[in-house]
Amino acid sequence: MKLKCKKINISTSGPLIAILNIHDADELDVTALDRIKIKKGKSSVIVAIDIANDNKEIKKGQIGLFKGVQAILKIKDSETVEIEQIQRPNSLYYIKGKLDGKELNEKEMDEIIKDLVENRLTEVESSYFVSACYRNGMTLDESKYLTNAIVRYGGHLNIGRNVIVDKHCIGGIPANRTTMIVVPIVAAAGLTIPKTSTRAITSVSGTADTVEVLAPVGHKKEDIEKIVKRANGCMVWGGVLDLASADDKLIKLERPLSLDPEGILLASILSKKIAVGSKHVLIDIPIGPEAKIKTRKKAEKLKNSFKKLGKKLGLNIKVIITSGFQPIGNGIGPTLEARDVLMVLQNRINAPQDLRKKGLYMAALLMSMVGIKNSLTKATEILESGLAYRKMQEIIKLQGGDPNIRPEDLKPGKYNYEIKSEKTGHITIISNNSLTRIGKAAGAPQDKSAGIYLYKKLKDRVNKDETVLKIYAENKDKLKNAIDICKKCKIFKVN
- Statement to judge: residues 367 and 309 lie in one domain: yes
In a domain, 284, yes or no: yes
Shared domain for 192 and 124, answered yes or no, is no
Residue 31 predicted with pLDDT over 90: no
Residue 175 in domain: yes
In the chain, the number of structural domains is 4
Residue 199 makes CB contacts below 8 A (sequence gap 6+) with 206, 208, 209, 237, 239, 445
Asked whether residue 294 carries a pLDDT value surpassing 80, the answer given is: yes
pLDDT per residue over 223-264, tens digit each?
999 999 999 999 998 776 666 567 677 776 656 556 678 999
Residue range 83-109: mean pLDDT, rounded: 92
The per-residue b/e assignment along 428-446, b for 16 or more CB within 10 angstroms, e otherwise, is eebbbebbbbbbbbbbbbe
φ, ψ (nearest 5 deg) of residue 282: -105, 125
d(CA 4, CA 206): 47
Chain segment 42-81, per-residue pLDDT in tens: 888 888 888 988 777 898 999 999 888 888 888 888 889 9
Which pLDDT score is estimated for 232?
A: 97
Tens of pLDDT, residue by residue over 366-415, are: 999 999 999 999 999 999 999 999 999 999 999 999 999 999 999 999 99
Please identify, among 351, 376, 398, the residue that sits at the C-terminal boundary of a domain: 398
pLDDT mean over 186-210: 92
Res. 11: pLDDT tops 90: no
The H-or-E segment that residue 435 falls in is helix 432-441
Q: Is residue 26 part of a domain?
A: yes
Note the pLDDT of residue 279.
Answer: 95
CB contact at 8 A, 207 and 177: yes
| pLDDT tens by residue, 295-332 | 999 999 999 999 999 999 999 999 999 999 999 999 99
Residues 283 and 359 in one domain: yes
The reply to whether 260 belongs to the active site is yes
- C-alpha span between 376 and 356 (Å, rounded): 12
Task: Report the alpha-carbon distance of residue 386 to residue 185 in Å, rounded.
Answer: 10
Q: What pLDDT score does 256 carry? A: 56
Evaluate whether 61 touches 83 at the Cβ level (below 8 Å).
Answer: no
- Answer yes or no: is pLDDT of 337 > 90: yes
Q: Work out the average pLDDT over 103-121.
A: 91
- Percent of all residues in the chain with a pLDDT value above 90, rounded to a whole number: 71
Closest CA to 116 of 240, 247, 19, 256: 247
pLDDT number for residue 124 = 78
Cα-only R_g, the chain: 25
For residue 471, what are the CA distances in angstroms to 100, 239, 442?
50, 30, 7
Question: What is 60-129 written as a DSSP string?
Answer: TTEEEE-HHHHHHHT--TT-EEEEEE-PPPHHHHHHHHHHTTPPP-HHHHHHHHHHHHTT-S-HHHHHHH
User: Tell me, what CATH number does 28's domain have?
Assistant: 2.40.40.20
Amino acid of residue 44? S
312 and 245 belong to one structural domain: yes
Residues 66 and 183 grouped into a single domain: no
Residue-number span of the structural domain to which 275 is assigned:
165-398
**Gap between the Cα atoms of 132 and 119, Å rounded:** 19
The whole-number pLDDT of residue 358 equals 98
Does residue 323 fall inside a structural domain?
A: yes
Neighbours of 64 (CB within 10 A): 22
Examine residue 152 and state whether it is found in any structural domain, yes or no. Answer: no
Residue 304, CA distances (Å) to 39, 231, 289 in order: 50, 34, 21
Shared domain check, 392 and 466 = no
Q: 174 with 235, same domain?
A: yes
Active-site hit among 260, 447, 477, 484? 260
Taking residues 413-422, report their average pLDDT.
96
CATH code at 487?
Answer: 3.90.1170.30
Is 338 in the same domain as 215?
A: yes
pLDDT of residue 154: 84
Angle at 361 between CA 217 and CA 226, to 5 degrees: 30
What whole-number distance in Å separates Cα of residue 445 and Cα of residue 204?
A: 6
Give the domain-ending residue among 20, 50, 85: 85
What does the pLDDT read at residue 371? 96
Please, where are the H alpha helices in 137-259? 140-152, 179-188, 207-211, 221-231, 245-254
- CATH of residue 116's domain is 1.20.970.10
Write down the pTM of the prediction: 0.88
Q: What angle in degrees, to the nearest 10, is found between the helix axes of 334-345 and 387-398?
A: 140
User: What is the separation, in whole angstroms, between the first and last Cα of the chain?
Assistant: 76
Decide if 155 is inside a domain: no
How much of the chain, in percent, has pLDDT values that exceed 70? 96
72-94 CB burial, b ≥16 within 10 A, e <16: bbebeeeeebebeeeeebebbeb
Give yes or no for residue 475 having a pLDDT over 90: yes
In a domain, 149, yes or no: no
Tell me, yes or no, whether 216 and 310 share the same domain.
Answer: yes
| E strand or H helix at 445 | none
Do 245 and 131 lie in a common domain?
no
CATH number of the domain at 346, please. 3.40.1030.10
Q: Is 405 part of a structural domain of the chain?
A: no
CA gap 484, 467 in Å, rounded = 18
Same domain for 429 and 360? no
The C-alpha atoms of residue 265 and residue 258 are separated, in whole angstroms, by: 12
Instruction: Say which amino acid occupies 310.
Output: G
Q: Are residues 364 and 276 in the same domain?
A: yes
Q: Which of 343, 374, 398 is the last residue of a domain?
A: 398
- Tell me what the mean pLDDT of segment 276-301 comes to: 95
User: Which residue type does 211 have?
Assistant: V
Q: Which of 161, 162, 197 is nearest to 178 (CA)?
A: 197
Q: What is the rounded distance in angstroms from the CA atom of residue 369 to the CA atom of residue 363? A: 10
pLDDT at 12 over 70: yes
pLDDT (0 to 100) of residue 492: 94
Q: What is the mean pLDDT of the chain?
A: 92
